Amino acid sequence: MSAIILKIIPALFAPALQVQAERVVWPFYQIGNFIENTLLLLPYWGVKTLVILFFLSLAAMPFFFSKDYIFKGADDRKPWRDLRYWALAAAVSEVIVYLYF
């Protein structure tokens, strides 16, 4: 019974819903097309540069925090516990990968 209902109801309302849906989404579709066409203009090297800058900014970000925040809760302040350098090393390793591929 439930299967029949599930088939009949959408069949009755589908055409009307479709017309409404097309009306509602048409402006969004146009906006999406505009954005997509604009992005198409960006060259491959431009995309890569953007991504590498993104990684480098991530590597730099922790250096703006205070040392107290970085070491908060740590047993001591030995250099290997400085999490800023952990983040730097991880980000640089990915920069190398994105430069290669």
Partner 1 sequence: MALARIDLIIIFLYMIGIMVLGTYYARYVQSSEDFYVSGKMLPWWAIGMSLVATDISALDFIAASGQGYKWGVVVANFDWIGCLPPMILGAFLIVPFYWRAGVYTIPEYLGLRYNRWVQLIQGLLWGGFLACILGALYWATGLMLVEFMPIRDDFAGGALKNSLNFLLGFYHAAEGSNWQIMSWLILIAVVVGIYCYAGGLSAVVVTDVAQLVIMYIGGTAIIVLGMIKVGGMSGLTSKIYALGPEFHNHFKLFLPADSPSPYPWQGILFGLAFVLAPAYWLGNQAIVQRNLGAKSEWDTKGGMLWGAFLHALIPIMVAFPGLIALALYPGEKSGDVAFPRLIHKLLPPGLTGLVFAVLLAALMSTAASNLNSAATIWMKDVYQKFVIPLVGWTRGKFKPEKKELKPSDRHYLAVGRSLTAMFVVFGIFFAPIVTRYSGLYIAIQSFLTFIQGPNLALILFGIIWSRATGWGGLAGLLTGLASSVLMFYFKGYIFTREEPFLFIAWWSFVISSVTIVIVSLATKPEPREKLLGLVWKYADKDKELQAALQERVEE
Least distance between partner 1 and beta carbon 5 (Å):
18
Smaller CB separation from partner 1, 4 or 97: 97
Smaller CB separation from partner 1, 6 or 50: 50
Residues that bind partner 1 (CB under 8 A): 21-22, 25, 28-29, 32-33, 36, 39-40, 42, 44, 47-48, 50-51, 54-55, 58-59, 61-62, 65, 69, 71-75, 81, 83, 86-87, 89-91, 93-94, 97-98, 101
Q: Which pair of tokens denotes residue 100?
A: 């290669």
Smaller CB separation from partner 1, 8 or 35: 35
- The C-alpha atoms of residue 89 and residue 49 are separated, in whole angstroms, by 19
Least distance between partner 1 and beta carbon 8 (Å):
19
Q: Which pair of tokens denotes residue 67?
A: 């040392």
